[in-house]
Amino acid sequence: SLEQVIDSVYRSYPMLQSALLSRNIAAGQQTGAWGAFDTRLKGASENGPVGFYETYRQSVGVVKPTYWGGEVFGGYRIGRGDMQPWYQERVTDDGGEFKAGVQVPLARNRSIDDRRAELWKAGLERQLAEPDIQAQLIDFVRGGSYAWWDWVAAGEYHRIATRILTLAEDRTARVRSQVEAGFTDPPELTDNLRMVSIRQAKVADTRRKLQQTAAKLSIYLRDGEGRPLVPGEAQLPGFPRLSDQPVQELSAGVEAALARRPELKLLDLLRRQVQIDYSNASNQLQPELNAVLWGSQDVGAAASSKGDKSDLEAEASLLLDVPVERRKARGKMTETQAKMSQLTAKRRLTADKITVDVQMAHAAIVSALEQVQETGEALRLAEDLAERERQNEEAGLSDMLKVALREQYAVESAEKNVDALQLYFHSLADFRAAVAQDDLSR
Q: For residue 190, which of 416, 399, 15 has the smallest C-alpha distance?
A: 399
List Cβ neighbours of 276 (8 Å cut-off, separation of 6 or more): 112, 117, 120, 121, 124
218, amino acid identity: S
Element (H, E) at 320: strand 313-321
Longest CA–CA separation in the chain, Å: 144
170, amino acid identity: D
Distance, in Å, from the CA atom of 141 to the CA atom of 145, rounded to the nearest integer, reads 6
What does DSSP assign to residue 302? -
Distance, in Å, from the CA atom of 77 to the CA atom of 99, rounded to the nearest integer, reads 8
Contact between 77 and 100 (Cβ < 8 Å): no
pLDDT at 161: 92
Strand order in the sheet with 96-105: 40-48, 55-65, 71-81, 96-105, 288-299, 313-321
pLDDT at 305: 64
pLDDT at 242: 80
pLDDT at 354: 95
CATH of domain 2-41+116-286+328-434: 1.20.1600.10
Q: pLDDT tens digits, the chain, 442 residues: what are they? A: 888 898 888 888 888 888 999 999 999 999 999 999 999 999 999 888 887 888 888 999 999 999 999 999 999 999 887 877 777 777 878 888 899 999 999 999 999 999 999 999 999 999 999 999 999 999 999 999 999 999 999 999 999 999 888 888 887 877 787 776 776 677 877 877 888 898 899 999 999 999 999 999 999 988 888 888 898 888 888 888 887 666 678 888 899 999 999 999 999 999 999 999 999 999 999 999 999 999 998 888 877 767 677 788 899 999 999 888 888 899 999 999 999 999 999 999 999 999 999 999 999 999 999 999 999 999 899 988 888 887 887 777 777 778 778 888 888 899 999 999 999 999 999 999 999 988 887 6
Q: How many residues would you count in the chain?
A: 442
Distance, in Å, from the CA atom of 367 to the CA atom of 358, rounded to the nearest integer, reads 14
Distance, in Å, from the CA atom of 287 to the CA atom of 70, rounded to the nearest integer, reads 15
Dihedral pair phi/psi, residue 321, rounded to 5°? -150, 120
Angle at alpha carbon of residue 116, lines to 115 and 119, rounded to 5°: 90
